[in-house]
Amino acid sequence: MNIILFGLPGAGKGTQGNILAKVFNLYKISTGDLLRDEINKKGVLVNKIKTVIDKGLLVSDDIINNLVENVLSNKSYYNRLIFDGYPRTMNQAKYLDVLVKKYNQKISYVFNLKVNKDSIIKRFLGRQVCSKCGLIFNEFYYPSTNENHLCDPKFLQKRSDDNEETVRKRFDMYAKETSPILNYYRDQNLLHEVDALIDISLISKEIRRIIHPLET
């Protein structure tokens, strides 16, 4: 089976993808990974990709489609892929269908990890990592206290200088981009919406409940 995962940054796509990959012996692929791999192994597209990145442009659908075709045509990944953060455009989604057919595979499940935007923004912005011991806290949901943390609070660091407005804009953009794609899969009865505000292990349990036992 091939699986596609959708969800806002911070919804836990990466975590759930890793769990699924392990449980069902699949390969998780993100476009970021594919681009990095192509650059590292100095593939045929490396110059094109570097030019685009150097100019600060978005990598074109053509390049992404080519990289995805490399993966789908690779027999060791046959019907064993999890796509994380792909497809990002309708063009990519439609071309994925073409490729899947061409290589005699299918998309079995599409999961949308649903989160409430306001809480995910807090989760995202509140995240703090202790630079001394590596523990992770959240100033809103799981603040560092004398009881759960021995280090001085001065070691707590925010992941980035993102402010609420930037994060909100990025999330709105993501929702705008992906909603037609989600509809596209909904129309094909492939889409499963999963509540992703609950505990990581419960989300994973719910996903595994949806995946038909015959597939495994």
State the residues that interact with Zn ion by CB under 5 A: 130, 132-133, 151
Q: Minimal CA–CA distance to 82: which of 152, 20, 174, 11? A: 20
Rounded distance between C-alpha atoms, residue 207 and residue 211, angstroms: 6
Least Cβ distance, residue 152 to Zn ion (angstroms): 8
Q: Which is closer to Zn ion, CB of 78 or CB of 141?
A: 141
Q: Are 149 and 130 in contact (CB under 8 A)?
A: yes
Q: Which is closer to Zn ion, CB of 111 or CB of 137?
A: 137
Q: Bridge partners of 112?
A: 6, 193
Rounded distance between C-alpha atoms, residue 43 and residue 49, angstroms: 10
Least Cβ distance, residue 125 to Zn ion (angstroms): 20
Task: Order across the sheet with 136-138: list the strands.
Answer: 136-138, 127-130, 156-158
Q: Which is closer to Zn ion, CB of 46 or CB of 151?
A: 151
Least Cβ distance, residue 143 to Zn ion (angstroms): 13
Least Cβ distance, residue 142 to Zn ion (angstroms): 13
Q: Which is closer to Zn ion, CB of 125 or CB of 130?
A: 130
Amino acid at 86: Y
Rounded distance between C-alpha atoms, residue 208 and residue 203, angstroms: 9
